[in-house]
Each structure stands twice: as structure tokens, then as C-alpha cells.
């Protein structure tokens, strides 16, 4: 299965809750950085966005165009030994006559955002232009495309604390997923995870999310033979157990995932009975994964699940008592961050009536 990619809307959601000021896209040649930037622009601003775009004529030159005036200047010229995209020598005149004025005009424009597409070794070679880029970052929010190159200027930009950096080669860190499927369904009256929901078992949507290609590893942890059989029929990893507590599901699931992928940076605990939790919300949550943080979902009714625990909290999760992951949340309130979600996404099917309400919500979702 090819690696899943984040959608433009999930990136915007992650950016806004991260409280970062700027959004930088990087990745190898052909990763789709500029294409994604164009998809993001309408979601960031409802007016034309100032800034610049560069254009490469292989083995000839690189031009920089002011997005507002349309003026262009040559910023790089090929040398005799140039290969396509390489060996260009910097022409400062293009930066001075077109690039810097474009940045200065963008800083003064009414639009809250500016677009810089793209920044690479040529742009790093002109010190006055670099200074103007950094001045623009102090003046307004910037969507920038960065080449995956190692220059002091690009390294300085990538390391800014106000930058949300998305590497399209590896958009999601190594995150594990435990599908929580051990509930006894006492209020429901039967195993709710296999109750019909829109023509499928209720748990099917969680299984689909877990197997969507977003995770380094996933595992469904259950007490139910029939849930195990469903997972096996779909060749989905599953662990059957008979332990009594919710904390056992957490411990068993995380321990098994770490044996498979010791390098996990975070682990998501995904309820099996929230069928309206969306792929977009999942993608937004995983883009925020941080080994030092805990991210959980919330809606207008308060905080909820799923919860994404960073690696720093794995040891505590592996030594829980009966209370489950809430013990860790209570011990580290300053580490907990929230991703708002639509109300219906965090609702579970505790009773047949609740399940019927969820199916009604599906019609408008």
C-alpha cells in the first residue's frame, strides 16, 4: 500500500491548533510541494496572496516572478558543467531588482499571508534577499516551499520555533495504533462492536482507519472471539486476551506494538465504537504527533477519545493500574493539547438508541 498523504484541510487544522505562525513544505524533487501549496492557498486566504514563485529552465536559468506585479528577474544562470537543476550560479541582480521588492511589497500588503515558492541554494546565496525573507517572517504569516538542501539559511528557517514544517517525503512520524475493542457492551446488551452500522460491523470503520497506511504499526486488542475472527478474515493484526481492565488493553497493545516497532514516536488509542471519527481528523491528529506531548480530541461537550500519547509517556502506560490512560493525563496536564472535532465524531454507541442516532447523523455527515 502506498504511503498515505495528508489532505490540505487536515494540514490547515493541524497548523492552527499547533499555534505555529508559518507553514513550510519541504521534500524531494517531485514530491508535490508546489502543487500542495496551491491547494492550501484558498484555505488560508480569500484574496490573492503576494510573494514570489521561481521557475527553472533546465540547463539554462532560474527566474523569480513577483506574484503581484508579474515582474520577473533571472536569479540563476547555468554554467557549462551544469546538470538539470544543478550547477546554477547566483545572479544577485535578479534578487535585488525583483526578489527583494516582491518581499517588501508582500510585507506591506493587506493579505495576512505571503507565498514563497521556492527557497533553495540560489536564494541562500544572496545575503540581502535572505535578510528580506526573515523580515517578512516577522511581518506576517508565510507559506513557503523549501528545497531539501542543507544551507545555513535553510537550516535556520527550518529550526524557527514559529514554523510548522511538513516533510512530504515523510509526512507522518512513526506512530502506532491500538484499536480498543475489549469493552463488554453491558449497556448495549450484546457485543456492540459487531452491531450493524450502515451495512457493516460497527468496528469496521476503526479497522479501516487503522489500516489506512498512516501508521507504522497497528493492532486491534479484544476480548471477543468474533472480533478476532473479523480481523483475521481481513488479515488485520489482532490480539485476543482475557484480562479484566481497560489498562490491560492499553498495556498489551502498546507492548506488542513496541516489540514490532521499537522506534515508535507516539501511539494512538482508537476506540472501536466511534464510527464517525473521520480520516481527516485522524490525519490532523497524526501530523501533530510529538514524542514529548499528548494530543487528545475534544468537541463542544468536552474532551474525549482518541488520544495520542508521545513516546515520553510509554513507560507510564505500560505500568498502569485499573484506571487506564486517564491516570497519565491527570499526572501531566501541561503536556495535554487539544484537537477540536465535530461533535458527532466523538460520540460512541453505548446503547442501541445511541447507535440509531449515529446512523441518523451519518446522513448529514
Cell numbers representing residue 235 in the block = 488479515
The domain that contains 61 carries what CATH number? 3.40.50.300
- Dihedral angle, C-alpha 306, 308, 309, 310, nearest 10 °: 180
Residue 212's domain comprises 175-362
Q: How far apart are CA 303 and CA 289, in angstroms?
A: 18
- Is residue 199 domain-shared with residue 159, that is, in the same domain? no
pLDDT tier for residue 58 given thresholds of 50, 70 and 90 = confident
- Is residue 162 domain-shared with residue 280, that is, in the same domain? no
The domain that contains 210 carries what CATH number? 3.90.550.10
Which CA distances in Å does 104 have to 67, 155, 170, 255? 13, 23, 33, 54
For residue 361, the number of C-alpha atoms closer than 13 Å in the C-beta half-sphere is: 19
Q: How far apart are CA 157 and CA 134, in angstroms?
A: 8
- Is residue 55 domain-shared with residue 125, that is, in the same domain? yes
- Is residue 163 domain-shared with residue 184, that is, in the same domain? no
Q: How far apart are CA 253 and CA 202, in angstroms?
A: 20
- Is residue 155 domain-shared with residue 270, that is, in the same domain? no
Residue 82's pLDDT is what?
Answer: 46
- Is residue 180 domain-shared with residue 234, that is, in the same domain? yes
The stretch 66-71 carries a mean pLDDT of: 97
pLDDT tier for residue 51 given thresholds of 50, 70 and 90 = very high
In a domain, 61, yes or no: yes
- Is residue 179 domain-shared with residue 231, that is, in the same domain? yes
- Is residue 124 domain-shared with residue 265, that is, in the same domain? no
Evaluate whether 122 touches 90 at the Cβ level (below 8 Å).
yes
Kind plus residue range of the DSSP H or E element containing 218: strand 217-222
Cell 504499526 belongs to 217
In a domain, 2, yes or no: no
In a domain, 304, yes or no: yes
In a domain, 3, yes or no: no
Cell numbers representing residue 115 in the block = 507565498
- Is residue 139 domain-shared with residue 264, that is, in the same domain? no
From 105, 136, 167, the end of a domain falls on 167
Residue 190's pLDDT is what?
Answer: 72
Q: How far apart are CA 42 and CA 295, in angstroms?
A: 27
Cell numbers representing residue 40 in the block = 492550501
Q: Quickly list H helices, the chain.
A: 8-18, 33-44, 92-94, 100-108, 121-124, 127-139, 152-158, 204-210, 225-233, 246-260, 279-287, 314-317, 326-331, 352-362
From 167, 183, 199, the end of a domain falls on 167
Residue 300's pLDDT is what?
Answer: 94
- Is residue 102 domain-shared with residue 207, that is, in the same domain? no
Residues ≥6 apart with Cβ < 8 Å to 320: 247, 250, 251, 327, 328
Return mean pLDDT, the chain: 93
pLDDT digits (tens, 9 = 90+) for 316-347: 999 998 778 899 999 999 999 999 999 999 99
- Is residue 294 domain-shared with residue 269, that is, in the same domain? yes
Question: What is the count of structural domains for the chain?
Answer: 2
- Is residue 162 domain-shared with residue 179, that is, in the same domain? no
Sign of CA dihedral 303, 308, 254, 6: positive
pLDDT digits (tens, 9 = 90+) for 285-318: 999 999 999 999 999 999 999 999 999 999 999 9
In a domain, 1, yes or no: no
From 167, 200, 224, the end of a domain falls on 167
Amino acid at each position: 500500500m502506498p504511503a498515505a498523504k495528508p489532505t490540505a484541510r487536515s494540514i490547515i487544522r493541524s497548523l492552527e491548533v499547533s499555534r505555529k505562525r508559518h507553514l513550510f513544505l519541504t521534500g524531494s524533487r517531485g514530491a508535490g510541494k508546489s502543487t500542495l501549496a496551491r491547494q492550501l492557498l484558498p484555505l488560508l486566504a480569500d484574496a490573492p496572496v503576494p510573494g514570489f514563485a521561481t521557475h527553472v529552465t533546465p540547463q539554462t536559468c532560474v527566474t523569480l516572478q513577483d506574484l503581484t506585479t508579474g515582474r520577473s528577474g533571472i536569479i540563476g544562470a547555468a554554467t557549462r558543467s551544469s546538470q538539470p537543476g544543478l550547477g546554477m550560479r547566483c545572479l544577485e541582480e535578479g534578487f535585488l531588482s525583483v526578489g527583494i521588492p516582491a518581499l517588501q511589497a508582500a510585507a506591506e500588503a493587506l493579505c495576512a499571508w505571503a507565498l514563497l515558492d521556492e527557497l533553495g541554494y540560489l536564494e541562500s546565496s544572496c545575503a540581502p534577499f535572505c535578510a528580506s525573507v526573515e523580515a517578512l517572517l516577522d511581518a506576517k504569516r508565510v507559506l513557503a516551499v523549501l528545497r531539501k538542501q542543507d544551507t545555513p539559511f535553510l537550516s535556520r528557517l527550518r529550526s524557527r520555533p514559529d514554523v510548522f514544517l511538513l516533510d512530504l517525503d515523510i509526512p507522518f512520524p512513526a506512530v502506532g495504533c491500538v484499536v480498543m475493542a475489549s469493552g463488554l457492551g453491558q449497556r448495549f446488551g450484546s457485543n456492540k462492536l459487531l452491531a450493524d452500522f450502515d451495512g457493516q460491523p460497527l468496528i469496521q470503520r476503526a479497522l479501516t482507519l487503522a489500516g489506512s497506511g498512516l501508521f507504522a504499526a497497528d493492532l486491534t486488542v479484544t476480548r471477543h472471539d468474533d472480533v478476532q475472527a473479523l480481523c483475521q478474515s481481513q488479515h488485520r493484526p489482532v490480539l485476543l486476551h482475557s484480562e479484566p481492565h481497560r489498562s490491560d488493553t492499553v498495556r498489551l497493545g502498546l507492548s506488542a506494538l513496541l516489540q514490532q516497532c521499537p522506534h515508535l514516536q507516539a501511539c494512538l488509542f482508537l476506540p472501536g465504537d466511534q464510527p464517525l471519527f473521520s480520516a481527516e481528523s485522524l490525519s490532523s491528529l497524526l501530523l501533530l504527533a510529538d514524542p514529548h506531548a499528548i494530543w487528545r480530541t475534544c468537541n463542544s461537550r468536552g474532551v474525549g477519545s482518541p488520544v495520542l500519547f508521545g513516546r515520553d509517556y510509554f513507560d507510564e502506560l505500560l505500568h498502569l493500574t485499573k484506571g487506564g490512560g486517564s491516570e497519565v493525563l491527570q499526572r501531566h496536564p501541561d503536556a495535554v493539547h487539544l484537537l477540536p472535532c465535530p461533535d458527532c465524531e466523538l460520540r460512541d454507541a453505548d446503547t442501541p438508541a445511541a447507535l440509531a442516532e449515529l446512523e441518523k447523523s451519518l446522513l448529514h455527515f
